[in-house]
Structures are given as C-alpha cells and as structure tokens.
Amino acid sequence: SSMAGLRICSALVTGANRGIGLGLVRHLLRVSNPPKWVFAACRDPKGERAQELQHLASKYPNLVIMPLEVTNPASIQAAAARVGEHLKGSGLNLLINNAAILLNRTLDTETLEGMSQIYTTNTIGPLLVSQFLPLLKKAAQGSPGSELSCSKAAIINISSNGGSIDSIYGWDLLQVVSYRCSKAALNMLTKCQSLGYREHGILCAALHPGWVQTDMGSSAGHAPPVTVDMSVQGMLNVLSTLSEKDIGTFLDWEGKVVSW
C-alpha cells in the first residue's frame, strides 16, 4: 500500500475511541504489514463511547485497549507501565497525541474554567505523555541507522490549522478561541519537543488532519469536507515519508506545510 514506508513494531494513539483516533487505530491494524502492537488509549475503554474499539479488539489480538486520562500523571504512568510490559524490552516507535476537546465558545463567552480545561487536555496532555519517553528512546536505540523516521521513533501531535496565527482559518465560522490558543501552544510544544528529543533519535512533528467529519468537526453545524478515512489515510502516508528535514514542522494530511 502507499504506506509501505511505515514499518513500525508498536504505536500508541490517545483519544482512540472515536473520530480521528479510532480511524488511526483501524487503519494501523489493516495495513499490509501491521504493527506487532497497537495501543489504543482513551478515558473510558469500557464505556459505550468505546464500543467500536472493543469490537475491533475482539478481531485483532495485536490491539491493546487501555485507560488513559492525559490530564492525570498517575494515569499516564500506569499506561506507560502497561505498554512496557507488553513490549517486553523493545521500545515504542510511534506516539500519536490525538486526544483533544473543543468548546464552541466566543471571545465573549470564554471563561477561566473553560480555557483551563481545554489547555490542560490539548496542550499540557501532550507534554505529560512524554512519560513514554523511555520507551521511545529504547525504540530509537534499537533501530539501526541514524536517520530519523516514524518507523524508528516519533511523537506526532495532532494539531489544527485553527491554531495557525498566520492564517486564522475559519474565524467567520467558528471563533473557538480557547481551542485555537491551545493548538497554537501545542505547535510551540511540538517545536520544543523536536529540539529537545532530536538527540535521542526521536522525530517530532505536528499534523493538521483537515476539517474532518467527526462529532467535534461537525460541532459548528456545518458539514466538514473531509472523511475520517481520507484524513487518516493521508496522515499515515505523510508519516511514512517524514525524515530528518521534517523535524518540528507543521504539515497537513496531504503533506502540505501549514503556516505557523
């Protein structure tokens, strides 16, 4: 398939029970050379919002579902320990920080609580999840060659062009100030991670999945143009091509550069 360049032994996706996260899990399981382990993390794996994920797990023995609340360090630590147990000494190749929330608020209706909640999940979460760093480092060390790639070790942050300060995309449709601020900050975090983790052989980049037909994407009352399958297939194609030159970049699901 067009993802032939992506050869990973293990991947972890946060916010994996629906929308883009679920799509990523589904596609990773179905590629021609699937990972030995796909870890699907979400807040409530046993809840009704995770039924599709549970159904997939009954068909794919390489899918491991685990509880993970990205705003809770103890929850992250427990998940990292479980992933480590499954990997038995090999590392984690790919960490996709996808978990995010959106509140449809305007400048006039944003609040301290709302802003804090969004920022904690969308920006601080992907920082805290770097507790998986030892497993990512292990994957980088265990991978031959010095070239950085998603097949070796990578942190991919699912961002949004809504966080682009340059283009301020879709303002007329949706202000979502807190969401935009959280994604602009996530982009800076990605840049910092790319600089800090490069020496460990870990590639870090941010991806804009497109405006996708999910519960979150449709919350503005408009029909988004991109399906989950189109977005996910595109993003995985992009991941399969990432290399040294793409460290700390912000790309969309078709591989085009998104301006900061």
CA distances from 103 to 93, 109, 212 (A): 32, 10, 16
The pLDDT value recorded for residue 215 is: 79
Whether 155 contacts 97, CB under 8 Å: yes
Residue owning tokens 């770097």: 130
pTM score, whole prediction: 0.96
* Distance set, CA 222 to CA 12, 41, 217, 225 (Å): 31, 29, 8, 9
pLDDT value of residue 152: 96
pLDDT of residue 18: 94
Q: Rounded CA gap, 70 and 127, in Å?
A: 9
Domain over 10-252 is classified CATH 3.40.50.720: yes
Per-residue pLDDT of the chain (260 residues; tens, 9 = 90+): 455 578 899 999 999 999 999 999 999 999 989 999 999 999 999 999 999 999 999 999 999 999 999 999 999 999 999 999 999 999 999 999 999 999 999 999 999 999 999 999 999 999 999 899 999 999 999 988 889 999 999 999 999 999 999 987 889 888 999 999 999 999 999 999 999 999 999 999 999 999 998 877 776 667 788 999 999 999 999 999 999 999 999 999 999 999 99
d(CA 215, CA 53): 16
Q: Determine the pLDDT at residue 1.
A: 44
125 closest CA partner among 96, 149, 85: 96
Could you tell me the two tokens for 117?
Answer: 């909640």
- pLDDT score of 3: 56
Positive/negative CA dihedral, 38, 42, 45, 49: negative
What pLDDT does residue 104 have? 92
What span, in angstroms and rounded, lies between the C-alpha atoms of 222 and 125?
Answer: 28
pLDDT value, residue 54 = 96
